Amino acid sequence: MKKYFIFSLLFIPCLLQGQKNEVTALFLDEKPLEIKLAISVKGVKAITNDTIYTPAMMHYKSGGSWDSIAISVRARGNFRRKECSYPPLRIKIKKDDTKGTVFEGNKSLKLVLPCKQAKDNSLIMKEYIAYQMDEPITKYTFNTRLLTIEFTDEAGKKSKSSIITGFFIEDDDLVAKRHDGKVVEDLNLHPKLLEETNSIRHDLFQYMIANTDWSTTFLHNAKVIQLKETKEYIPLTYDFDMSGFVDAPYAQVNETLNIASVRDRLFRGFCRSEDAYQAVRKEFIENEGTIKAVLMRYQNDFDAKEFTGMIKYIDDFFETMKSDKRFKAEIVNQCRIK
């Protein structure tokens, strides 16, 4: 296992070097950021208009001391907003307020929180790791920053505080800007018109983590950016809490997919050329050590049994990648025509 870790230290900085100059300070530091946030969860959940934000103050650790910044928040998502104690949040910050702070350059952030109190911290870590595992596969990814949060639910007279794990996700406009592109929405665009190689990378990554809760047809848990120079459409993936890799107890399977559990992998990509499939397959196999090195960085965040299960789950994916028979049966023959 140690050889994967050493390889990651050498490889990952090289992979991202060309992008680092355009990554904001918030996402350049891999050390968890400590923040304090106090809001009324009930009040935020009650607002269903996505244009309405609630004002709040966020405190954050900076240089060993605490500072604060004015923000506004709203709940986002559908399932977790209804079913979870903590809803995922979208945060907005005024540009002038970010100047000279770690948040400079970020006007909008997603904040991912545990579903059910601090006991779900390991699930949040798995979802965070999924974002990290996408980085060796494609440069078209969202940057993330791990957080230690003192979260206070201002529930009337009985405020309740908990220490929880969470993470920030950068805004999609920053991803588009980094790659000289723009976010495109409300597209009547068939997924086969997405750039072929990056589309296969996207689809195989979703298969690797056993995520079926996405659609590039309806842009569900997916964004698309268009590159200005080539005019190509590139898919971006996010929200992995329903994946088999995370294996959240609340995760549900779409009954139309004919799988029994979120742990069951199902390839949902559209059919592409055989040469393109084989080229991306080779990329995944070559990056096996790097992807596993990402997992190894977080070994101490899990008990031995759980971590062993995570490694075995990714191992099974690579067994499919390395087997001509399994790759044809589980990927090529399962691709979607419509």
Query: What's the pLDDT at 119?
Result: 67
If DSSP codes are grouped into helix, strand and coil, which group holds residue 106?
coil
- DSSP element (H, E) containing 199: helix 196-208
Bridge pairing between strands 33-39 and 144-153: parallel
Query: What's the pLDDT at 80?
Result: 81
Instruction: Check: CB of residue 267 under 8 Å from CB of residue 330.
Output: yes
Structure tokens at 59: 């405190």
CA dist 79 and 327 (Å) reads: 33
Query: What's the pLDDT at 21?
Result: 53
Query: What's the pLDDT at 77?
Result: 81
Which of the two residues, 188 and 293, has the higher pLDDT score?
Answer: 293
Query: Could you report the per-residue pLDDT of 154-181, keeping only the tens digit for each?
Result: 977 788 899 999 999 999 999 999 999 9
Give me the mean pLDDT over the 224-229 stretch: 97
Query: Could you report the per-residue pLDDT of 42-95, keeping only the tens digit for each?
Result: 999 999 899 999 999 999 999 889 999 999 999 998 788 888 888 999 999 999
| Residue keyed to tokens 């809803």 | 87
31 Cβ contact list (under 8 Å, min separation 6): none
Query: What's the pLDDT at 158?
Result: 81
Band (pLDDT 50/70/90 cuts) for residue 13 is very low
pLDDT over threshold 70, residue 248: yes
Query: What's the pLDDT at 117?
Result: 72
Instruction: Check: CB of residue 321 under 8 Å from CB of residue 327.
Output: yes
154 alpha carbon, distance to own chain's centre:
28
Nearest to 174 by CA among 144, 131, 134: 144
Amino acid at 87: P
Structure tokens at 8: 């990651």
Query: Could you report the per-residue pLDDT of 318-337, keeping only the tens digit for each?
Result: 999 999 999 999 999 999 99
Band (pLDDT 50/70/90 cuts) for residue 10 is very low
Query: What's the pLDDT at 263?
Result: 97
CA dist 208 and 265 (Å) reads: 8
Structure tokens at 293: 């090195």
Give me the mean pLDDT over the 292-306 stretch: 96
Instruction: Check: CB of residue 70 under 8 Å from CB of residue 57.
Output: yes
Query: Could you report the per-residue pLDDT of 193-205, keeping only the tens digit for each?
Result: 999 999 999 999 9
Measured CA angle at 33 (ends 205, 115), to 5 deg? 60
**What is the chain's percent helix, strand, coil content, to nearest 5?**
40, 20, 35
Instruction: Check: CB of residue 321 under 8 Å from CB of residue 315.
Output: no
Structure tokens at 332: 């090529």
Instruction: Check: CB of residue 268 under 8 Å from CB of residue 212.
Output: yes
Query: What's the pLDDT at 16?
Result: 43
CA dist 130 and 295 (Å) reads: 9
Give me the mean pLDDT over the 13-20 stretch: 44
Nearest to 211 by CA among 227, 222, 198, 226: 222
* Average per-residue pLDDT for the chain: 92
pLDDT over threshold 70, residue 139: yes
| Residue keyed to tokens 């070559």 | 286
Query: What's the pLDDT at 14?
Result: 43
